[in-house]
Amino acid sequence: MVQTRNGLVCLTCTKDHKAGDDIFIWNPSIRRYVGLPRPNFIVNLKNYNIVHHFFGYDSHTNDYKVLKCVSDDFTLVAVEIYSLARGSWKTLTTSAPTYFGFDVAADWLFSYWAVVNDALHWVQLRERRGKNLVIVSFDISTELFGELMIPQDVSVRIIEYPNVDCHVWISKHKGSVALVECSTMFIASSQAQLHLWVMEEYGVVESWTKLYTYSTAQYSFFSLGFNVNHEHVFMLNFRKTPTFAFTDELLQLAEPENSSRVQNGFFCREPCLTWPPHAISY
């Protein structure tokens, strides 16, 4: 599962060492789906390390788009975008940032992304095997790349403190770009600290503000983002334990039945009741 937008779900599947050849946009509310044509660049997993897909909505043209990025050991190979309205793939490789290749060692970073102001956002390494992070933006309407700087305090902790295990997740909070920082001091404590940073003025690095901090003994989890009540929801990772959410305090949520190993998840809210006539019913 790539992501959900307006009740639609983007799915990819891999077969015969071909990554993401089969891509579908699924409307579960009316039980119909659309299969995308094959991309221009066909990926063989025997030759390339990482393939990432992103799914977004262009509110200016009422169009849904799938962004596909391929890299080989931090070297960018191909970037393509599919438009549901155009019905075709378009190559964007030459317009992507030079540091845009995905590093296998930090592949977990790109499992988290947020849509703000009709742009996709995710955290990206600036150099091979380094710790210098930047937020990459991709405008779904103009199909142009950009970047935002992460908070200075977060950069310092990641780069200058070797005894701090610091992870970050991109998110969205009340319409603004948000960053969740999880820091664990291995020498001083086994506890993890969660910090929520919000960019109050888009594109202005000085506007990053830390809204709250929470300490927890649980540090193996991942962020699902914010729900409609503006609670930040996390799933405890790789174990049969409840999800939890917090605003100013920790809130325990119900555990899904028969859950034993969950690696990712998304919110799926509004149903989409309109769909192209060529969509397949089931």
pLDDT one-digit tens code per residue, 162-174: 545 567 778 888 8
Q: How many CB atoms lie within 10 A of CB 36?
A: 20
The whole-angstrom separation of Cα 38 and Cα 88 is: 9
What is the 3-class SS of 154-205, one letter each residue? HHHHHHHCCCEEEEEEEEEECCEEEEEEEEEECCCCCCEEEEEEEECCCCCH
The answer on pLDDT for 205 being more than 70 is yes
- The pTM is what? 0.75
Mean pLDDT over the full length of the chain: 73
Higher-confidence residue: 181 or 270?
A: 181
The whole-angstrom separation of Cα 191 and Cα 10 is: 36
Q: What is the pLDDT of residue 201?
A: 95
Q: What is the pLDDT of residue 198?
A: 93
The model's pLDDT over 230-242, given as tens digits with 9 standing for 90+, comes to 666 666 554 444 4
| Residue among 181, 130, 129, 131 nearest 154 (CA) | 181
The answer on pLDDT for 187 being more than 60 is no
Across 2-8, average pLDDT: 83
The answer on pLDDT for 126 being more than 80 is no
Structure-token pair, residue 250: 């920790």
Choose the weakest-confidence range: 46-50, 143-147, 172-176: 46-50
| DSSP single-letter state for residue 94 | G
The model's pLDDT over 96-110, given as tens digits with 9 standing for 90+, comes to 877 666 554 455 555
Most confident of 56-60, 155-159, 240-244: 56-60
Choose the weakest-confidence range: 111-120, 182-191, 204-213: 182-191
The answer on pLDDT for 206 being more than 90 is yes
Across 190-195, average pLDDT: 72
Contact, 242 vs 230, CB < 8 A? Answer: no
Q: What is the pLDDT of residue 260?
A: 46
Across 239-251, average pLDDT: 47
Alpha-carbon torsion (220, 224, 228, 230), positive or negative: positive
For residue 219, give the amino acid letter: Y
Choose the weakest-confidence range: 141-145, 201-205, 255-259: 255-259
